[in-house]
Structure 1
Amino acid sequence: MLKKLFTQTKRDVTGGNGRSSPHLIDLRQIVKSYKTPAGPFLALKGVDLEVDAGEFVAVIGKSGSGKSTLINMLTGIDRPTSGEVIVGGVPIHALNEDEVALWRGQNLGVIFQFFQLLPTLTLIENIMMPMEFARLHSPDERRERALDLLEMVEMAEQADKLPSAVSGGQQQRVAIARALANDPAVLIADEPTGSLDSKTADTIFQLFEDLTAQGKTILMVTHDRDLASRVSRVVLISDGEIVDRYVSQALQTLDDKQLAQITARLEPVTYAAGTTIFEQGDRADKFYIIIRGEVEVVKQFENGTEMVTAVLDSSQYFGEIGLMNDAPRGATVRVAADKDAALVSLDRDTFATLLDGNDLTHDVMAQLMRERMTTNHILSLVPSLNAPEFAQSGTLTGHRYVEPGKTIFKKGDEAKEFFIIIEGEVEVIQPDQNDAVVARLDSGQYFGEIGLLRGGKRMATYRAAADRPAGAFLVAISRQRFVKLLDESQLSEKDLARVMVRRMR
């Protein structure tokens, strides 16, 4: 029966003017702007989305985030201000209204939160309607197919009843059958369980899982984070942008299933420029990933001075130290003064689940945590860079700016300084490997300790990343001061060697 019901026949209503794409759904740089009395409102901001056949994708986000606008682009109900919408090779954005209506009826199935069954038609007649609209099959074939679909959703015995005579969960089953009437490649489910109790919602979700197993592609808009965590992929929309790619870049050790589970639990939040996210000494309760903008990590010292120890930007994370150590915040984190910042956060329990479920992620975070803590410890021993004694001592080189692509030191140079990156990125290069970039370090990390600890020459070439137009801002500490800091602190060479060994691999 399933082979009969779902033939996966591709229908082209464009006269053969399709676009080549390896993906079933391909949204390219979608911008949607609406005119309002207050001026233009950007509902979608250059969105890219690729979905392959057979995927079950949950689309989540707060009200007003852009979820509905995104779905309207896919269904052809609305058109992008700019960008391309390609589904099954068909450029939906380029079709006229009649072509869109025909394409939608033959290639797309839509499932609504409140079912939208026609109240004066029986259940089987509701399922036959899309076939009649698209002029598919003979009348007898339509009825036979409608019965087969009702049997698939376990509603065949209710075929001749009106929608009002069955429960909400049963109506949603029929709505799913109606969406499948014309054998569409893609199902769009808009809050399909929003008006159902949890048990019925779980039954509907299982039906969706069965359909994807049979080759259907489903995009489900939902507010139910528990259901969203069970799909193969989660697309999180915040302020008109798809943000899950930033999460995957920040947490590269997660597999697709783990990424979906974590993304379903993320909470988007926006902070105004200059706003403090948390204070040094606060209880650690959340883990953060930066989507847009910059945040400053500020270490506050007992003498009342403070130092910006790192400037973090998109796809970087913070807040892990307090959670992993079950300790108060070790620094203040605030949004940079020049622009707002968009973040996503995980609560303490979900963060713990993330680490428990992935040893590699735990190890990577623990390694970065140790490095950040070592940096903070070193800086806590260094008085303010503006202090008169340091301006005169010659033991602290001070702030240094390095232009993009410029060398900081070369392999073989004498090791004279230790560096902490405040902002930007630094590339580690091995000349013996055709100048291969073997590592990239970013703000809050340090380098230069290898040559100092070994009392000799530089083991690699370091330069400001060529692809970061802002260059790199560093704090440089002289050999004399570096040695003194180690002597004065509880840090051992092993603390620094943990990072040193990783860089030399």
Structure 2
Amino acid sequence: MLHILKDIRVTEFKQGATIYEEGDAADGSLFFILAGRVNVLKMQDGKSRQIDNLGEGQFFGEIGILIDYPRTATVLAASSTVRLARITRQSFLAEASHNMKFALKMIGITIQRMARVELKLQKVQTGFTADIENHPLKDIVVENRRHNIAIAEKLHSLRSMLYPRDKKVYNEGEKDSKELFLVLRGEIRLSHTFNNGEVSFYNLYAGDFFGMTTLTGLERRPYSAIVAADHTSICSFDKALFSRVLQSDPDIVYNIFRTIVTYSTILDEAIRKKDPAQTTQSVSDEALIEPEL
């Protein structure tokens, strides 16, 4: 990926070097791994434990590009040399303005990572509901929704569908229809069958996307999507339309990237809070493909 970057600064670290520490102030950036590997460590029960190992083509520190949020883990260079692209909001938009290959690569990786988080639901025993209202990213969620609704308003060819309360858009385990969705009005509840029954784990409102795992090659839906308000309206995208939307404007790419990162972060934190073992248990992404958009 290095050869296609023009507006993004590249830095290099030697093995054992600290890229940043848990609790450090975010500097408005995330890091994309161009070469080498890094270890991700987190303090648990007073001890520093490795929770992940990331390599070329992956990124970390994405919350830092959203808000001034303390770093949630320590990241160390694990290979002899690690080359990182430091990406800020400004450099993301500047690069995307003339380099759509970069922008689509970032979206593809982000969707794949989101799918890994959603698949963790299969390992959680007891139901939970993500607390969006009290989350530090709440204001970002609201802003994302506003921008996403504006996307729909620009696409006059989109067909909206009206659903009654309690109607299921799709069921958990249902064969994937190769569509993803955007809520235009009303409310959608995402639910999963835990050991204690079906529980709504995330609530969506106008401007929220769902069903994006369709782009990663999964054959079955990992959760149900249920209409939770009268006169709820949604629209659907297939892969081709979604790709055209992304390529129409760098600001749209950035906002959808931010939307996916925000949702994945809130859901992953809720899962780890309910089941701390999920901090160190990795989910196999063998069946997940990075979307080619």
Largest Rg, 1 or 2: 1
The answer to whether the superposition gives a TM-score over 0.5 is no
Q: TM-score by structure 2 length?
A: 0.38
Q: TM-score by structure 1 length?
A: 0.24
Higher RCO (C-alpha under 8 Å, 6+ residues apart): 2
